[in-house]
A and B are shown apart, each in its own frame.
Chain A
Amino acid sequence: AAPRHHPTHPALLFASAPPKEALSGEKARLGDLQRLLRMRQQSMIGQVAALYPVKVFHDLPHGRNLNSNTNGAHRSLSEENGTLPEENGTHLLNVIKLPQIHALTFLGWQIGKQRRKQNDICEKDLQRSAAVLGYAAHAILLIASYLHVPLRYPLHFGGSRSYVSDCLPSAETASIASAERTCINMTDPKLTVYPLFVECQEDDPTKASYAIYLLHKDTEQLLNYIGAESSGRRVFDNLQELIRIIQSDEYVYS
Chain B
Amino acid sequence: MKAPAAAAAAVGNRAGGVDPSIPRFKCQECHRALVVVGVDSFADKLPAQATSAHASSVHGSIMGASRMDNSYVVLSKQNKSHGHGIPPRPPSAAAPHIEPNQPTRAMEGSYIVLPPAAASIYKTSTSEGGGAQLPPPSINSSSLLPGNSFHSNVTVLKRAFEIATSQTQVEQPMCLDCMRLLSDKMDKEIEDVNADIKAYEVCLQHLEQESHTVLSDAGFQKEKLKIEEEEKKLNAAIEEAEKQYSEISSEMKDLEIKSKEFEELEERYWHEFNSFQFQLTSHQEERDAILAKIEVSQVHLELLKQTNVLNDAFYISHDGVIGTINNFRLGRLPNVQVEWDEINAAWGQAALLLHTMAQYFTPKFEYRIKIHPMGSYPRVTDIHKNTYELFGPVNLFWSTRFDKAMTWFLTCLQDFAEFAISLDKENNVPPEKSLKLPYKIDGDKVGSHTIFLSFNKVENWTKALKYTLCNLKWVLYWFIGNTSFAPPSGSLCAAQSSKR
Interface residues of A (CB under 8 A from B): 1-2, 4, 6, 8-9, 12, 16, 19-20, 22-23, 26-27, 29-30, 33-34, 36-37, 40-41, 43-44, 46-51, 53, 55-56, 70, 73-74, 77, 84, 86-92, 95, 127-128, 130-132, 134-135, 138, 142, 145-146, 148, 157-161, 182, 184-185, 244, 247
Kindly state the interface size class of chain B when it binds its partner: 35 or more
Contact of B349 with A159 in the complex, beta carbons under 8 Å: yes
Contact of B287 with A88 in the complex, beta carbons under 8 Å: no
Q: In the assembly, what is the distance between CA of A142 and CA of B310, in Å?
A: 11
Q: Does B477 contact A (CB under 8 A)?
A: no
- Given A127-B374, A148-B300, residue A16 in contact with residue B276 (CB < 8 A): yes
Residue interface bits B258-286, CB-to-A below 8 A is 1, else 0 = 00000001001100110010011001101
Contact of B491 with A88 in the complex, beta carbons under 8 Å: yes
Q: What residue in chain B is nearest A48 (Cβ atoms)?
A: B309
Q: Which of A37, A43, A157 contacts B297 (CB 8 A)?
A: A37
Q: What residue in chain A is nearest B489 (Cβ atoms)?
A: A247
Q: In the assembly, what is the distance between CA of A44 and CA of B313, in Å?
A: 11
Which residues B336-377 have CB closer than 8 A to chain A? 341-342, 344-346, 348-349, 352, 355-356, 359-360, 370, 372-377
Q: Which of B283, B352, B492 contacts A19 (CB 8 A)?
A: B283
Q: Which of A33, A41, A158 contacts B345 (CB 8 A)?
A: A158
- Given A30-B297, A37-B304, A157-B326, residue A142 in contact with residue B309 (CB < 8 A): yes
Q: Does B432 contact A (CB under 8 A)?
A: no
Contact of A49 with B487 in the complex, beta carbons under 8 Å: yes
Contact of A160 with B312 in the complex, beta carbons under 8 Å: no
Q: Which of B265, B283, B307, B387 contacts A23 (CB 8 A)?
A: B283
A44, A77, A145: most-surrounded residue (chain B CB, <10 A): A44
Contact of B376 with A160 in the complex, beta carbons under 8 Å: yes
Q: What residue in chain A is nearest B290 (Cβ atoms)?
A: A26
Contact of A29 with B294 in the complex, beta carbons under 8 Å: yes
Q: Which residues of B contact A95 (CB under 8 A)?
A: 373-375
Q: Does B206 contact A (CB under 8 A)?
A: no
Interface residues of B (CB under 8 A from A): 265, 268-269, 272-273, 276, 279-280, 283-284, 286-287, 290-291, 293-294, 297-298, 300-301, 304-305, 307, 309-310, 312-313, 326-328, 341-342, 344-346, 348-349, 352, 355-356, 359-360, 370, 372-377, 381, 385, 387, 485-487, 491-492, 494-496, 498-499
Q: In the assembly, what is the distance between CA of A4 and CA of B272, in Å?
A: 10
Contact of A47 with B485 in the complex, beta carbons under 8 Å: yes
Q: Which residues of A contact B286 (CB under 8 A)?
A: 23
Contact of B309 with A134 in the complex, beta carbons under 8 Å: no
Give chain B nearest CB distance to A169 CB in angstroms: 25
Q: Which of B272, B307, B375, B494 contacts A160 (CB 8 A)?
A: B375
- Given A30-B290, A70-B387, residue A88 in contact with residue B359 (CB < 8 A): yes
Q: What residue in chain B is nearest A129 (Cβ atoms)?
A: B375
Give chain A nearest CB distance to B135 CB in angstroms: 114
Q: Which of B294, B344, B359, B494 contacts A159 (CB 8 A)?
A: B344
Contact of A131 with B374 in the complex, beta carbons under 8 Å: yes
Q: What residue in chain B is nearest A130 (Cβ atoms)?
A: B375
Q: Which residues of B contact A84 (CB under 8 A)?
A: 498
Contact of B304 with A44 in the complex, beta carbons under 8 Å: yes
Q: Which residues of A contact B346 (CB under 8 A)?
A: 159
Nearest 7 pairs of A and B residues by beta carbon: A131-B375, A159-B345, A160-B375, A160-B376, A159-B376, A47-B309, A19-B283
Q: In the assembly, what is the distance between CA of A49 and CA of B304, in Å?
A: 17
Q: In the assembly, what is the distance between CA of A119 and CA of B210, in Å?
A: 163
Q: Which residues of B contact A131 (CB under 8 A)?
A: 348, 373-377
Give chain A nearest CB distance to B162 CB in angstroms: 97
Q: In the assembly, what is the distance between CA of A241 and CA of B200, in Å?
A: 132
Q: List 13 A-B contacts (CB under 8 A).
A: A2-B272, A8-B269, A9-B273, A16-B276, A51-B310, A55-B499, A74-B385, A87-B498, A91-B370, A127-B374, A158-B341, A159-B341, A247-B492
Give chain B nearest CB distance to A35 CB in angstroms: 10
A20, A50, A74, A90: most-surrounded residue (chain B CB, <10 A): A50
Contact of B494 with A34 in the complex, beta carbons under 8 Å: no
Q: What is the predominant secondary structure among interface residues of chain A facing chain B?
A: helix
Q: What residue in chain A is nearest B371 (Cβ atoms)?
A: A91
Q: In the assembly, what is the distance between CA of A47 and CA of B499, in Å?
A: 20
Q: In the assembly, what is the distance between CA of A91 and CA of B385, in Å?
A: 16
Contact of B304 with A41 in the complex, beta carbons under 8 Å: yes
- Given A127-B374, A159-B345, residue A56 in contact with residue B293 (CB < 8 A): no
Apart from A89-B359, A158-B376, A159-B375, list 18 A-B contacts with CB within 8 A: A1-B276, A4-B272, A16-B276, A33-B297, A37-B297, A40-B305, A44-B304, A44-B309, A70-B387, A73-B387, A74-B381, A77-B372, A95-B374, A131-B375, A138-B313, A159-B346, A161-B345, A184-B341
Q: In the assembly, what is the distance between CA of A244 and CA of B496, in Å?
A: 9
Contact of A160 with B309 in the complex, beta carbons under 8 Å: no
- Given A37-B297, A74-B385, A132-B375, residue A56 in contact with residue B499 (CB < 8 A): yes
Contact of A48 with B313 in the complex, beta carbons under 8 Å: yes
Contact of A127 with B356 in the complex, beta carbons under 8 Å: no
Q: Which residues of A contact B327 (CB under 8 A)?
A: 185
Q: Which residues of A contact B495 (CB under 8 A)?
A: 53, 55, 87
Give chain A nearest CB distance to B156 CB in angstroms: 105
Contact of B494 with A86 in the complex, beta carbons under 8 Å: yes
Give chain A nearest CB distance to B314 CB in angstroms: 9
Q: In the assembly, what is the distance between CA of A89 and CA of B290, in Å?
A: 42
Q: Which residues of B contact A244 (CB under 8 A)?
A: 496
Q: Which residues of B contact A12 (CB under 8 A)?
A: 273, 276
Contact of A23 with B376 in the complex, beta carbons under 8 Å: no
- Given A138-B313, A161-B376, residue A36 in contact with residue B283 (CB < 8 A): no
